[in-house]
Amino acid sequence: MTAADRLTKDGIRLFNPEDFVGMAEAGRVAATILDDIASHVFVGQTTGEIDRVITKMVDAHGAKSATIGYKGYQHASCISVNHVVCHGIPSDKRLKDGDILNIDVTVIIDGWYGDTSRMYVAGKLGRKAERLIQVTHDSLFKGIEAVKPGNTFGDIGHAIQRFVEGHRMSVVRDFCGHGLGRVFHAPPNVLHYGRPGTGPVLEEGMFFTIEPMVNLGRPETKILADDWTAVTRDKSLSAQFEHTIGVTADGFEIFTLSPGDKFHPTYAT
Ligand code: MF3
Ligand code: CO
Ligand code: CO
């Protein structure tokens, strides 16, 4: 057993200070790709073309896509438009004015996984969609602010749920964040709802994602016949933001911060 094999009683891996360097590099590349794809999102564009550009960008960074070949998935991104909650498959369908979309990219660099997603808009952002995106974005940061040693995963979920429901929107229960590091998905499941003080206790050296999905309507989802695409049952709009983070001695490090400060879709274009 080496220091790299430290596991908590909940089976959550604890990483070492030098591992934060690897994660920061993988996270930076994933976030840079999301910055650079912004100019490829416009009315009339297809999500398939956006994905082809992402595939080339992953390659240009000397990275590997974590999603190509993952459980049979064949694309370098998931692109989830309007009422698609997550795992939208890039296609030849064209974006229409006012469409909102989440683009989710995971890359592997030197064996480390960087996983991040954010929202984009084609054309003019509608008022309801803008509110949904703002609340979803801010809910992620409410969750991140709860990250420090001694707090619990329930504290993170509670902070997100309380904020979202306070704005009369709903948190999706059917998908969660996840531990990661040198694998894509590891313990724990990071729920975006919960009760304070419940769940595993956070410790320095944990790596995981927080990736709340928020619906304007009800929280229930269903999977389409393609066995991937998750949509809201009531067809209401859904949004999501995702960061990969590490727990530090006194808080957190966000590995997937936007180098161009473009994480929020209302940045000046
Ligand atoms: N990146 C997604 C996540 O946040 C997982 C996508 S898996 C895929 O966990 F196969 F659908 F790409
Ligand atoms: Co993820
Ligand atoms: Co992701």
Kindly tell me if the per-residue pLDDT of 2 is higher than 60: no
Looking at the domain assignment, is residue 124 inside a domain?
yes
| Ligand 1 contact, 25 CB (< 6 A) | no
Among protein residues, the one with the nearest Cα to ligand 1's atom 4 is 115
| Ligand 1 contact, 242 CB (< 6 A) | yes
| Ligand 1 contact, 19 CB (< 6 A) | no
Looking at the domain assignment, is residue 265 inside a domain?
no
Picking from 242, 231, 101, the residue whose alpha carbon sits closest to that of residue 180 is: 242
pLDDT in tens, 158-182: 999 999 999 999 999 999 999 999 9
| Ligand 1 contact, 54 CB (< 6 A) | no
Looking at the domain assignment, is residue 269 inside a domain?
no
Number of domains in the chain: 1
If you measure from the C-alpha of residue 211 to the centroid of ligand 2, how many angstroms do you get, rounded to a whole number? 6
Q: Which domain holds residue 202?
A: 3-254
Average pLDDT, integer, range 95-106:
98
| Ligand 1 contact, 106 CB (< 6 A) | yes
Looking at the domain assignment, is residue 263 inside a domain?
no
| Ligand 1 contact, 73 CB (< 6 A) | yes
pLDDT in tens, 51-90: 999 999 999 999 999 999 999 999 999 999 999 999 999 9
Looking at the domain assignment, is residue 268 inside a domain?
no
Looking at the domain assignment, is residue 260 inside a domain?
no
If you measure from the C-alpha of residue 92 to the centroid of ligand 2, how many angstroms do you get, rounded to a whole number? 25
| Ligand 1 contact, 99 CB (< 6 A) | no
Ligand nearest to the CA of 73: 1
Whole-number mean pLDDT of the chain? Answer: 96
Q: Domain of 55: which CATH number? A: 3.90.230.10
Query: To test ligand 1's pocket by mutation, which of 78, 89, 140 has the most ligand atoms within 8 angstroms of CB?
Result: 78
DSSP the chain: --GGG-B-TTS-B---HHHHHHHHHHHHHHHHHHHHHGGG--TT-BHHHHHHHHHHHHHHTT-EESSTTGGG---SEEEEETTEEE-PPP-SPBP-TT-EEEEEEEEEETTEEEEEEEEEESSSPPHHHHHHHHHHHHHHHHHHHT-STT-BHHHHHHHHHHHHHHTT-EE-SS--EEE-SSSSSEEEEE-SS--TT-SPBP-TT-EEEE--EEESS-S-EEE-TTSS-EEETT---EEE-BEEEEE-SSSEEETT--TTS--STTS--
Looking at the domain assignment, is residue 267 inside a domain?
no
pTM of the model: 0.97
Query: If 0-12 CB within 10 Å is exposed, 13-18 middle and 19+ buried, where does residue 17 land?
Result: exposed
Looking at the domain assignment, is residue 121 inside a domain?
yes
